[in-house]
Amino acid sequence: MPDAVCVRFAPSPTGFLHVGGVRTALFNWLFARGQGGRFLLRIEDTDRERSRPEFTDQILESLKWLGLDWDGEPVHQSQRGELHRRALDRMLAEGTAFRCFVPLEAAREAVERAKQTDGQAAFFSPDRDLDPDEARRRADTGEPHVIRFRCPEGETVCQDLIVGEVRVDHRTIGDIVLARSDGAPTYNFVVVVDDSDMGITHVIRGMDHISNTPKQILIFQALGLPVPRFAHIPLINGPDKRKLSKRHGAVTTDEFMAMGILPEAMVNYMALLGWSPGDDREIFTRDELIEAFSLERVGKSAAVFDPDKLRWLNGVALRALDDEAFVAWARSAPALQGNPRLSDTDWFASVALMMKERASTWEELVHLLEPFLSEEITFDDAAVAKHLGKPTARPVLEAVTDMLEGLDELTNPDAIEQRLRDLSEKMEIKFGLLVHPCRVALTGRDRGAGLTEVMVALGRDRCVRRLREGMDRAGALGQ
């Protein structure tokens, strides 16, 4: 086996890249980069009916977005037919494979009968004893057949780098199909041929592939090829401990991009799904992950995908951006495109930066910006009842309105806050009894940016209008 580490990510372009694929690609990439090895990309596009070029494009763009750069050009499995055929012909010639004329349905029925009699859960074809020349003649006449692996007796032992020792009795494997009746090679066969040809030293993949491993080891051995090391990483479940799917929310990279998730946050979070650094650290740079990652610290139990944790990490990553980068991220929110207020560049930047400590996704950002970008705002009923329903609400809103009407414009937050504090002392009320009804009247909610920041961003005229409307709401509540 070559000394240099070489791993691969081998997605099938039958759908968009999802969380499980991202984590597999990331673990392979981190292992390769940490070991000074190579990270190769193989597109397993032999499923002619379901493979789509648009899925391939999405996979490539997703990996680029994540910053998971691969070495060399992507390998397309569908373009390696000649290599697969040569390996298959060699196995036929050496007797490790044979032509089987038993229909697949009959083979399945034989397995069911075997299960009931001796517990054998695999198919061993009677055609394994056919004379090869006779089998070739029957095939040449067009008789339907598949090509099967001649499974030997015994067991296969795999020392998995994560799971540990895995032993499989060959009676549970049987004479597996290497090529279908139309000549198309099967997954377990082409994976072996391609991994060997590409010099793969370590196969790092999801736990759902562990049943394929003994079959592939047998094919490696039949071809006289070095067997790579295997490492099966735990599956990913949703918060309800069931297999992660769309019912749990976003699961594809496109969906996370559409949320405004930063690639740095995505990589940071995905690395922690099934892997532990051995301490309490949760925030990592890409270089820190490369240095810290090891297969020894990958767990065996299923990981739980927590969308809230991802959003939290994205908020951390957003706050780490410089102001210019954060504003650029904010301006890119799909829901804001076409809003005329974006053309006021300096104003939008100032308003967006008010939300830097509060927003963790584009959806949250748009919600926070709604009072500033829309003339009509949405009121939180609970906030209205709580703060505009107080006896002091209407007098406060009236007093603040009068104060603002006496100003030319609102430009200095500190000066405005001092005026508001002076007003609360004059009215002999706590400052909070002044701030909360004003914030609700101005934004429709009782949480958000500081009141004076809100006032400056809205401008005097809009503040006065909304405060007067707030007085009407307070009046409707009996105040």
Positions marked active-site: 246
* 337-350 per-residue burial string, b: 16 or more CB within 10 A, e: under 16: eeeeebeeeeebbe
Which residue is it, tokens 């067997």?
227
